[in-house]
Structure 1
């Protein structure tokens, strides 16, 4: 954001803070000098409360501008984090105002409202769970706006909004998915965009036992390196995963630029592997059946004529 835009966002909070502090400092002198019939104590309380809230307003704007500048250089800062800071500042201003107004009777007022808060908390416990989970996610920042994530191997998509109660994702099929924050907090989250957007994945290929491992590795690696959509470095490699009855299973590993290209990269690699397997005449695994000369059980009755 430009300096002019930042100044505009902080102009009104700054003016409100200056005016409220000035009124709080000089209100008694002005009332005495002008002989106004105004309650100086009430005016002082109003000016003091206004100063607290104006300071919270200005502090929230300044923190928001600082976080936006940090997000411009790195990853975008979640909107929830900015709102959380503002709420915390306004809560502090509210507490300070209550102390200013009630003074020593603050503890009595809080004790009297304890039962009401307990009943209200029980009634909206699910909402509170989502909100508290959203606060925890905003502080820990396991993902940010624009990240591609997978939640509990069930939902994959790009984060488009992080709210107080829900997180919203847009899948690769342009499906809009809304998940409660409390559900996300209880499940495993895989972030494909952090700390870097590129990552390594693999596809598995099963070839016949008659194909030598060294030959299979060379052919599969050369084929996987042909697509231009994958990252050129590090180069693709091949590992033997298992030696099974049906054949030898290989893992062809390669690097993709980002999760958005994952499916296209897999398609390109598998397509080039298919061409190479056919060109070199590599036999796919075949199911072999062994037929016994006498397949009847010893005590089995003869088949009817």
Structure 2
């Protein structure tokens, strides 16, 4: 049986533990910092009483196992371990909050919380109730094997989610493109799947085990700006440097593209019909690609008309015709502005051949 000093200490620990639970619930979930302060203060008070009274929360003494003292000692230890778990979980959540991690990225938090609860539960069973932990762990290992075989796919998603979280190939809010063409913004990650908000405003749910196996391009790293390439073909009626100057004017007049780094024009090919060029520019985010491209195309049409440049037909629209031996063979796209300067193949063909072709 305890003395009065120990009985008072155990009663005080139980009172502090119960009061901490009540105050903790009264704080509400909207005040995580206040909750953490309450958890730490009450846990520190309980630990101080244990230390002053020379009561160890991890040791069972035979003298404490009789009557009301045994109940007070057991409940005091349970409350102390419970408050220890809550204080550790509060510190974990505070750390995640201070790092600025979005609330939807709760997989690391859930993992750490589960480890804390499991460790504290085993500690209570061992140090408070005196249960044989070795036997429990061996039995739970057999059970874990059976459960693992039954939940193989689900566990695969869970461990893939853990691997993705540790590797951090993306974060909440990143815009990603998968190897199969799926594109969107990461809006949530959990134990089993990752949620992707697509451009069509639909949520694609991708199992973590599948996401861990496919190639992934993160368009939000190192920043949100995104490069766009637009290929154009201008009729070869003007010098290439003139065409390049007009295209640069188009890019400089566009307001939806990023000016740093500056946009560029790359002349990539030339033939008797057209000069082919790539317009290289960047936009502020992947979502700005379509509006920026539309503006560039509109300005391109306007400046080509103002500077008397003509867009060339694509190579697939070229019209080929056989020619007689010794005659000149020319290839001209149908409707090309240079058709007046170069003889059309159908005009050079004999009348009977023209009728056959037409």
**TM-score, normalised with respect to structure 1:** 0.78
CA distance in 2, matches of 1:218, 1:245: 20
Root mean square deviation, CA, Å = 3.7
CA distance in 1, matches of 2:91, 2:265: 52
Task: Give SS of 1:38's match.
Answer: helix
Change (3 A) 1:34 1:50: closer
CA distance in 1, matches of 2:146, 2:236: 69
Is 1:278 aligned to 2:305, yes or no?
Answer: yes
Match in the other structure for 1:55 = 84
Bigger radius of gyration, 1 or 2?
A: 2
Cα deviation 1:234-284 (Å, max 9, x = unaligned): 221012345689854322111111122122112212221222233332341
Task: Give SS of 1:252's match.
Answer: strand
CA distance in 1, matches of 2:74, 2:243: 82
Cα deviation 1:128-170 (Å, max 9, x = unaligned): 1111111122222222222222122422112211111111122
Match in the other structure for 2:117 = 90
CA distance in 2, matches of 1:267, 1:71: 36
2:93 to 59, 64, 80: 64
- Do the aligned partners of 1:168 and 1:179 also contact (CA within 8 Å) in 2? yes
Runs of 5+ unmatched residues, structure 2: 1-29, 326-355
Cα deviation 1:49-87 (Å, max 9, x = unaligned): 543443232222222222222217xx8782222222222
Deviates more, 1:46-55 or 1:113-122: 46-55
Query: Superposition pairs for residues 166-245 of structure 1, below 5 Å?
Result: 166-209=193-236, 211-242=238-269
Change (3 A) 1:143 1:28: closer
Runs of 5+ unmatched residues, structure 1: 296-302
Change (3 A) 1:102 1:6: closer
Paired residues, what number? 289
Structure showing greater relative contact order (alpha-carbon pairs closer than 8 Å, 6 or more residues apart): 1
Change (3 A) 1:269 1:103: farther
